[in-house]
Structure 1
Amino acid sequence: MKSDQKIQQDVIAALQWEPVLNAAEIGVAVTDGVVTLSGHVDQYIKKGKAESVTKRVKNVKAVAVNISVEISSKDNNNDTEIGQAIVDAFRWNSLIPQNNIIVKVENGYVTLEGRVEWQYQKQEAYNAVKSLLGVKEVYNLISVKPAISKTLVKDQIKKAMARNADIKSNKIDIDISGRKVTLKGTAGSWQERSLIENAAWCSPGVTTVIDEIEVR
């Protein structure tokens, strides 16, 4: 197990290698394997990228993100422009059922609401918004409301794990309660854990995934 100092060094190095980020803008503190990111960035997408890069570092147990998004004056679009950009992004993305999604923009903070049939549609809507200029934060409150079959969901997850070469673990327990899936067990890396969680999210009817998989 790496020391907190070594984890800190590895996280800083990982941030420096990410071309989207300016590592000098991001502070990194580590306590008992829990990484806290702080600082300021000029785009919301950079905040998410810093988090995802950090989670890929070995021995990181959890990540707390205290990064604020401060838009530069040249990119500080008004809410009407941001709203129009979102409508355009949705219209040109065939994966997003735009008529089912309600968008609210207030001072650069975007709230997505509505109801879709699949988790990937909810995620695709979020992805379309997070990289737009002027967006400071995205609150994805879209609900997923299809029918759910416990047998089908478990089968879907197991098949997805079996056909993905990057998933080595076979020690995953899957528990389903209503529309909630709870994953337990061990994975060899954050990437493997993320792939298993994504397999659960891609199952029809799933609205909540509780990921209790330990990375070892």
Structure 2
Amino acid sequence: MQRSDTVLKQVMAAFERESHLKLHNHPIHMNLDDGALIVAGEVPDIASKKRLLQLARRHSEDKRLVDRLRVAVDPPVADGELRTHICERLAQAVDFRNCVICARVKGQLEVLRGTMDEAGNDGSGVIEVTVEDGVVTLTGQVISLSHRRLASVTAWWVGGCRDVVNLLELVPAEADGDDEISEVLHLVLETDLRVRAEQITIKVENLRITLAGWVATEAERRQAEQDAWCLDAIGGVVNRIQVRA
């Protein structure tokens, strides 16, 4: 059985090869506890977090993975402020116009838009937002996988999230696949004003996303990749976008 420090060395070496980034200023810790591999620490962005977790899973010999990685936020955002901004963003999004929007505040449920009686109606759903120590938890139900993934992206786009835990249920059930991921990522890139979606191509194979095309700046290239990593339940992201002045 591998030791946790051996797994950590393998994961960090693979991370540096794949991302060309070093995390010396962001210490990462891995510990084996009761058959589970606990991955903890702080990373600079969502792409680093998701990539590290996938590499840890690959090198963990099928052990259960416990995610305690958090994204660094400077300056930190108060939980109440972050919760308010996420609820406002969800309420303004066209894709969630039929959803009841709620917030969990000090253990109490506050309905911010709509009524709970509307939550079960056709074409609607309910999203409840809870924030604790910068970790956003989304609960309730939505009507499609696209809506479920878009809820995560919407939360990440509000600056200040240290993590997003998406527990939204899907009603009715829906099969996932490459076409679904491609479709929702096209929508995400078209919505994000920081990237020029028409210059980026998307290929999804076995849930793994490959981005290609060209953009004007390195910041835009990185943002497109960040957007892709914000999606839940994907098999990884390969960024082949080129920067052309």
TM-score (norm 2): 0.44
TM-score (norm 1): 0.48
